[in-house]
């Protein structure tokens, strides 16, 4: 889906890259850059043209994942036997479709991910940490086709029933938006079913929140249908990021995820190595 909008940064000045990126986001609510320099200042300088960079989850921490820049979360793989708690992005396996900080009252409008090191790419398809993206409007359109008997009531509940749920690891004020809502930014290019969604990786938190609300069970059924459809490969788009690739996406309109990644492996001599896959992730408000 990025072939028609990809921006090749080779030979472009920082100002030209900034203009092309801002224009692509305004037109498509997406931008895809190739051959972007692995330079922290140029990366954050580019993203500042899209809004305010959010402090990373542990700004000021001495951990390597947060030490590159106050706004960058460095996402790396981690060996299973390493000490300390693992962030979900560090673990082997896949990540389901989700929106960034779906629980929070103050959510990022954009997410940016720069592939600093694509890591191991010698496994079969679907096992190299391939990136996933889905437009929530495409999920909505698919639900209309798949579930004609439930469609109208599901839409009424998902757009009209506000639901708050806590974060799994952060203490922040929860959002009071519905599960589906009107996107927070305009777009130049009109598309059908232009909708925003708040979908966490773990919908168990939504099930728990629904237990205390009248009619919550039926609402959660609608959420489950949406989540299962969003994670159907027929609706998703798969793309493989090379070193220097940057994706910027509208956090209202798009969900993102990841196919399976192998975090660590052991060679014939019993020596374990960790996948060097590294992403510089930034939230933008």
Report how far apart, in Å, the C-alpha atoms of 53 and of each of 71, 87, 154, 220, 233 are.
6, 21, 35, 33, 32
Closest Cα partner for 158 from 166, 147, 169?
147
Instruction: Provide the pLDDT confidence category of residue 104 given band limits of 50, 70 and 90.
Output: confident
pLDDT at site 57: 65
Q: Out of 56-65, 85-94, 147-156, 249-258, which region has the weakest mean confidence (pLDDT)?
A: 56-65
Closest Cα partner for 264 from 126, 74, 130, 91?
91
Question: Of all helices (H) and strands (E), which one includes residue 224?
Answer: helix 216-230
pLDDT at site 64: 63
Whether the per-residue pLDDT at 149 is higher than 90: the answer is yes
Q: Give the pLDDT mean for 22-27.
A: 96
Q: Out of 9-18, 48-57, 85-94, 239-248, which region has the weakest mean confidence (pLDDT)?
A: 85-94
Mean per-residue pLDDT of the chain: 92
Q: Give the pLDDT mean for 84-102.
A: 85
pLDDT digits (tens, 9 = 90+) for 159-183: 998 888 877 665 678 888 999 999 9
Q: Give the pLDDT mean for 185-201.
A: 93
DSSP string, 55-82: PPTTTT--SGGG-S-TT-EEEE---TT-
Using DSSP, state whether 48 is helix, strand or coil.
coil
pTM score, whole prediction: 0.92
Whether the per-residue pLDDT at 60 is higher than 60: the answer is no
Query: For 250, phi and psi rounded to 5 degrees?
Result: -75, 115
pLDDT at site 3: 87
């Amino acid at each position: 889906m990025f072939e028609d909008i990809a921006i090749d940064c080779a030979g472009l000045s920082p100002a030209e890259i900034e203009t092309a990126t801002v224009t692509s986001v305004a037109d498509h609510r997406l931008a895809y850059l190739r051959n972007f320099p692995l330079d922290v200042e140029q990366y954050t300088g580019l993203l500042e043209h899209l809004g305010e960079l959010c402090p990373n989850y542990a700004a000021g921490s001495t951990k390597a994942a947060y030490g590159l820049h106050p706004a960058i979360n460095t996402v790396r793989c981690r060996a299973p036997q390493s000490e300390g708690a693992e962030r979900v992005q560090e673990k082997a396996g896949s990540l389901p479709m989700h929106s960034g900080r779906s629980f929070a009252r103050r959510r990022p409008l954009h997410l940016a991910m720069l592939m600093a090191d694509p890591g191991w790419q010698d496994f079969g398809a679907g096992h190299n940490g391939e990136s996933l993206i889905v437009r929530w409007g495409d999920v909505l359109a698919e639900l209309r086709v798949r579930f004609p008997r439930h469609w109208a009531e599901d839409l009424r509940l998902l757009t009209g029933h506000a639901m708050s749920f806590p974060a799994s690891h952060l203490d922040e004020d929860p959002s009071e938006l519905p599960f589906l809502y009107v996107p927070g930014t305009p777009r130049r290019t009109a598309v059908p079913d232009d909708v925003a969604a708040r979908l966490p990786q773990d919908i168990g938190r939504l099930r728990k929140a629904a237990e205390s609300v009248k009619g919550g069970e039926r609402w959660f059924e609608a959420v489950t249908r949406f989540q299962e459809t969003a994670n159907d490969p027929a609706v998703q788009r798969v793309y493989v990021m090379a070193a220097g690739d940057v994706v910027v996406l509208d956090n209202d309109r798009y969900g993102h995820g990841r196919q399976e990644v192998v975090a660590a492996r052991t060679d014939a001599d019993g020596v374990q190595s960790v996948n060097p896959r590294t992403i510089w992730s930034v939230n933008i408000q």
